[in-house]
Amino acid sequence: MEDYGRFLALLVSALLVGFVSVIFSLVWVFHYREGLSWDGSPREFNWHPVLMITGFVFIQGIAIIVYRLPWTWKCSKLLMKFIHAGLNTIAMILAIVSMVAVFEYHNARNIPNMYSLHSWIGLTAVIFYSLQLFLGFAVFLLPFAPVTLRAALMPIHVYSGLTIFATVIATALMGITEKLIFSLKNPAYSASPPEATFVNCLGLLLVIYGALILWMASRPHWKRPPEENVKVLRPIGGTPEGTEAESTMTDGSNADKSDLRVTSEAARKQNLKFDEAGQRSTM
Amino acid sequence: MEDYGRFLALLVSALLVGFVSVIFSLVWVFHYREGLSWDGSPREFNWHPVLMITGFVFIQGIAIIVYRLPWTWKCSKLLMKFIHAGLNTIAMILAIVSMVAVFEYHNARNIPNMYSLHSWIGLTAVIFYSLQLFLGFAVFLLPFAPVTLRAALMPIHVYSGLTIFATVIATALMGITEKLIFSLKNPAYSASPPEATFVNCLGLLLVIYGALILWMASRPHWKRPPEENVKVLRPIGGTPEGTEAESTMTDGSNADKSDLRVTSEAARKQNLKFDEAGQRSTM
């Protein structure tokens, strides 16, 4: 792997920033707020930031870059797909539990649901994330979809994944803003009490985490190496894993390796066409 | 250009959504708020959302995709760089005026500055945007930087540009959240008065605009075609425009075209290495 040291440094930084964000969310609810419980009180609400930051931000971020870990490249693609789908499913479940906590808290206190921009964009993100998970499972994990369909959907899958991830972080920042304004009364948010400064720092950490994940996910030279080209060009019906055309947001970095393997000009053209369409699923 | 019709449809959609966002910001301040003026009153504050949405969101988005407009491909790269830098400079100026409006309004009313997460992340985005503009000008527009430096910095320039753009939209969403909570008192934001629903829709439009720009900016087959490879491989010192190694977030889609032009294996290897490093500046 090119720049292995730099990749490792970024990975450790991302894991550290993500982990510290989760710790910050726990310190926020336990030190500055009332802690956690499931009884319709503000303590039930507190599950919302903790589970969203843990699941929908931290775990989703890891799910995005899991194909890029070089020590997984010897593992089968199918295993990695299960890990990718599994992490995203865990993130999804935590996000749903986290939403239930807010709805129950609102209902117990007669606070209206779904009035804020945070709730509108957050729910939209959860709906798109569910669709992404369902379509990803049906098209890329189950062995039924033809190569052409996988090839056509992969760039959309990658783009949607990164865009949803960025939108989730934006939604978390709106949620932090809302919560600080609503809960800090004496002193108010504008007086910058310690809780305000601390939670603002949590917001900054989330932005840094997002930026690190997006950098790692969009470097072409850190992609999982493609399967043998002969497999990419093989018609539908082969072994499910490895037969699909593959893609990333940053496609084409392996064009030189491809050139060494294909012999006929027609095959080369087709291969490069696959490259252009963005069909390597190494995200 | 591949999928010209689809590109055009997306471009028209993005321009429409961006334009409607600007109109929405004007309707917000003129219909629901007190309008615009420069006198320390809430009317001075109102310049903030209008100028940020016009400059820092709409114009910045256009600056990002300006290289991708196929009818500009016959224009010189230098001219396009001036347009790209010019649009970003306009966006920067509007963002600064917009910040001055808020500081003056806060100072006139004795409201503290820089306490919110919105202000922290917003100011960080403006600082990084200034750095990006300065470095972009020094490295890619002035003719002094060597090809190797341009090649090394281009992927960072592209990534930073897209990340700052996404961060700016996230900051706008936080700003909308803040403003609606602070200004809607009777009825409150939670009672969903017409202004709340209207401005929430503005927030959704900003997310859609961002998503459209990021899609157009990250499709490899919509890149401005590279200059002749002989220019890419020419040593430092030729005509400034076209001599630098070039890059995008989604690099490598022109590998086949490159293959047809280079003759020696060494040149081919070097060219593919340039491709891998992500060095085509067609964003």
Domain boundaries, chain A: 4-222, 229-277
| CB nearest to A250's CB, from B171, B207, B250 | B250
The DSSP string of B89-124 is HHHHHHHHHHHHHHHHHHHHHTPPSS-SHHHHHHHH
Q: Are B218 and B250 in contact (CB under 8 A)?
A: yes
| CB nearest to B255's CB, from A118, A170, A272 | A272
Any idea what DSSP says for residue A52? I
d(CA B121, CA A211): 13
d(CA B55, CA B88): 9
Taking CB atoms and an 8 Å limit, are A117 and B177 in contact across chains?
yes
User: What percent of chain A is predicted at pLDDT more than 90?
Assistant: 79
| CB nearest to A174's CB, from B177, B204, B251 | B177
pLDDT at B80 over 70: yes
Q: Show the tokens assigned to A276.
A: 């252009």
d(CA B80, CA B178): 38
Distance of CA A21 to the CA centre of its chain: 15
pLDDT at B275 over 80: no
User: Tell me, what amino acid is at B29?
Assistant: V
pLDDT at A274 over 90: no
Residue numbers in A near B111 (CB within 8 A): 190
Q: Are A242 and A150 in contact (CB under 8 A)?
A: no
Nearest Cα residue in chain B from A175: B174
Distance of CA B266 to the CA centre of its chain: 37
Q: Are A171 and B170 in contact (CB under 8 A)?
A: no
pLDDT at A166 over 50: yes
What's the confidence (pLDDT) of residue A269? 44
Any idea how long chain A is? 283
Identify the band that residue B70 occupies on the pLDDT scale cut at 50, 70 and 90.
very high
Best of A250, A259, A262, A269 to disrupt the B interface (most B CBs within 10 Å) is A250
Between residues B236 and A15, the one the model is more confident about: A15
Residue numbers in A near B117 (CB within 8 A): 173, 176-177, 180, 199-200, 203-204
What's the confidence (pLDDT) of residue A79? 97
d(CA B221, CA B232): 19
What's the confidence (pLDDT) of residue B240? 39
pLDDT at B250 over 90: no
| CB nearest to B218's CB, from A159, A176, A200 | A159
According to CATH, the topology of domain B4-222 is Four Helix Bundle (Hemerythrin (Met), subunit A) (1.20.120)
Nearest Cα residue in chain B from A176: B117
pLDDT at A263 over 70: no
| Contacts of B267 by beta carbon, 8 Å cutoff, 6+ apart | B233
d(CA A39, CA A91): 23
Q: Are A158 and A119 in contact (CB under 8 A)?
A: no
Q: Are A213 and A61 in contact (CB under 8 A)?
A: yes
Q: Are B216 and B14 in contact (CB under 8 A)?
A: yes
User: Tell me, what amino acid is at B60?
Assistant: Q
B194 burial type by CB count under 10 A (0-12 exposed, 13-18 middle, 19+ buried): exposed
Question: Nearest CA to A112 among B34, B218, B190?
Answer: B190
Taking CB atoms and an 8 Å limit, are B211 and A278 in contact across chains?
no
Give the residue-averaged pLDDT of B171-175. 98
ipTM higher than threshold 0.90: no
Give the model confidence (pLDDT) of B90-104 as tens digits: 999 999 999 999 999
Neighbours of A206 (CB within 10 A): 28
Give the number of beta-carbon pairs within 8 Å between A and B.
167
Average pLDDT for chain A? 86
Residue numbers in A near B116 (CB within 8 A): 177, 180, 189-190, 200
Give the residue-averaged pLDDT of B18-28. 98
Q: Are B281 and B244 in contact (CB under 8 A)?
A: yes
What's the confidence (pLDDT) of residue B262? 36
Neighbours of A187 (CB within 10 A): 12
Q: Compute the half-sphere exposure of residue A24: CA atoms within 13 Å on the CB side of its CA.
A: 22
A12 burial type by CB count under 10 A (0-12 exposed, 13-18 middle, 19+ buried): exposed
Give the model confidence (pLDDT) of B110-120 as tens digits: 999 999 999 99
Q: What does the radius of gyration of chain B's CA atoms come to, in whole angstroms?
A: 21
pLDDT at A240 over 80: no
Give the model confidence (pLDDT) of A84-142 as tens digits: 999 999 999 999 999 999 999 999 999 999 999 999 999 999 999 999 999 999 999 99
d(CA A108, CA A42): 10
Taking CB atoms and an 8 Å limit, are B121 and A204 in contact across chains?
yes
Give the residue-averaged pLDDT of A193-214. 98
pLDDT at B211 over 70: yes
d(CA B58, CA B64): 10
Identify the band that residue A242 occupies on the pLDDT scale cut at 50, 70 and 90.
very low
A159 burial type by CB count under 10 A (0-12 exposed, 13-18 middle, 19+ buried): buried
